[in-house]
Copies of this chain bind each other. A is one copy, B any other.
Amino acid sequence: MSPRRSAAEAAGTRTAIVERAVEVASTQGLEGLTIGRLAADMRMSKAGVIGHFGTKERLQLAAVQAALDIYRREVWEPAAGAQPGLQRLRAVCDAWISYFERDVFPGGCFLTAASCEFDDREGPVRDLVASTMRGWLKTLAREVRTAVERGELPADTDPAQVAFELNAIAMGANQQIRLFHDRDGLERARRAMGRGLGGDY
- Interface positions of A (Cβ within 8 A of B): 26-29, 31-32, 106-108, 112-113, 115-120, 126, 129-130, 133-134, 160-161, 164-165, 167-169, 171-173, 175-176, 178-180, 185, 188, 191-192
In Å, the complex CA distance between A22 and B114 comes to 20
Interface of A (DSSP majority class): helix
Measured between C-beta atoms, what is the minimum distance from A23 to chain B in Å?
11
Residue of B nearest to A162 (CB): B192
| Leading 4 A-B pairs by shortest Cβ distance | A168-B172, A116-B116, A119-B178, A27-B120
Instruction: Tell me which residues across on chain B come within 8 A of A126, comparing CB atoms.
Output: 179
CB-defined A-B contacts under 8 Å, sample of 8: A27-B120, A31-B32, A108-B119, A133-B179, A165-B192, A168-B172, A168-B173, A168-B175
Instruction: Tell me which residues across on chain B come within 8 A of A106, comparing CB atoms.
Output: 120
In Å, the complex CA distance between A5 and B200 comes to 66
